[in-house]
Amino acid sequence: MSKITARGLREHTRAGGRFTCLTAYDYSFARVLDEAGIDVILVGDSLGMVVQGCETTLPVTVDDMVYHARAVSRGCRRALLMVDMPFMSHATVEQALANAARLMKEGGANILKLEGGADQVGIVAALTAQGIPVCAHLGLQPQSVHKLGGYRVQGRDSDTATRMIQDATDLQQAGADMLLLECVPARLAAEITARLDIPVIGIGAGDQVDAQVLVLHDMLGITPGKPPRFSHNFMRDAGDIRGAVEAYINAVHDGRFPGPEHRFE
């Protein structure tokens, strides 16, 4: 059982392979995911909503991320540990470097994820120049929910689609090791994936991407309220948490998830 690396995942996807990612926020769930064979465990700032009960991800602090990342890192034996940079923790290069150092040193992160397009190109270049692997995040960026006016599919018109393709290319050029696309029309996600050399992880982005991610609480069916359309309750048939995680892994690998009902046009 060797530790997964960002570089290894890039080689894997270049050879046509897929991989799986789920969020986790504590040690015990991280152990279950890791032992079931999840390749990337994401300590997402979604913890603000599913763990802390906030309305948005905006209140999440770097201290919160360090606390949860450190717990998850103890359960992450094989999986790559990806950690989100929370809202306003990467607005300047100086701030991004200082907060990234904390997430890596204190939180045990293996790769950091940050939301943003053209505005983040310089930040990504500065982080990767310091040897910090980065996953860029385009499409729906929940940290910008107030500017976006809600949680909406992004890239539906040709102007925003063209800008997203350009941003993706520029972020890769700046050194990003991966790209995550959230709530993007499946055709646009497929085009971006085809244009990039780095792995593309999708959530609500169709099946023509290199990897899938879901929020753990959504796929276990315990998120309060209406589940997102792009998610699936794997717990319903599996009966237990480990079985649900294994069912998700198998469904991604054999192409059953995401299905047509989970994609956006």
Cα angle for residues 1, 74, 17 (degrees, 5° grid): 40
Considering beta carbons, is residue 42 or 80 the nearer one to ligand KIV?
42
CB of 180 to ligand KIV, least distance (A): 6
Q: Is 138 in the site for ligand KIV (CB under 6 A)?
A: no
CB of 203 to ligand KIV, least distance (A): 5
Backbone dihedral angles phi then psi of residue 85, each to the nearest 5 degrees: -90, 120
Which DSSP state fits 142?
G
List the one residue out of 214, 207, 204 whose CA is nearest residue 254.
Answer: 207
Q: Does 121 bind ligand KIV (CB under 6 A)?
A: no
Which stretch in 11-19, 43-51, 93-101, 255-263 sits in contact with ligand KIV by CB under 6 A? 43-51
Half-sphere exposure of 265 toward its Cβ, with a 13 Å CA cutoff? Answer: 2
Give the DSSP per-residue string, 81-136.
Answer: EEEEPPTTSSSSHHHHHHHHHHHHHTT--SEEEEE-SGGGHHHHHHHHHTT--EEE
20 lies in the binding site for ligand KIV (CB under 6 A): no
Judged by CB under 6 A, the chain residues 185 through 224 that form the site for ligand KIV are 203, 213, 215
Q: Could you confirm whether 182 is annotated as catalytic? A: yes
Specify the stretch interacting with ligand KIV by CB under 6 A; choose among 42-50, 97-105, 170-178, 232-240: 42-50
Asked if 96 and 126 touch (Cβ cutoff 8 Å), the reply is yes
- Options 23, 120, 154, 212; binder of ligand KIV; rule CB under 6 A: 23
Q: Angle at Cα 260 formed by Cα 256 and Cα 264, nearest 5°?
A: 130
Segment interacting with ligand KIV, rule: CB under 6 A, options 10-18, 38-46, 99-107, 187-195: 38-46
- Interface with ligand KIV by CB under 6 A: which residues? 23, 42, 44-46, 84, 180, 182, 203, 213, 215
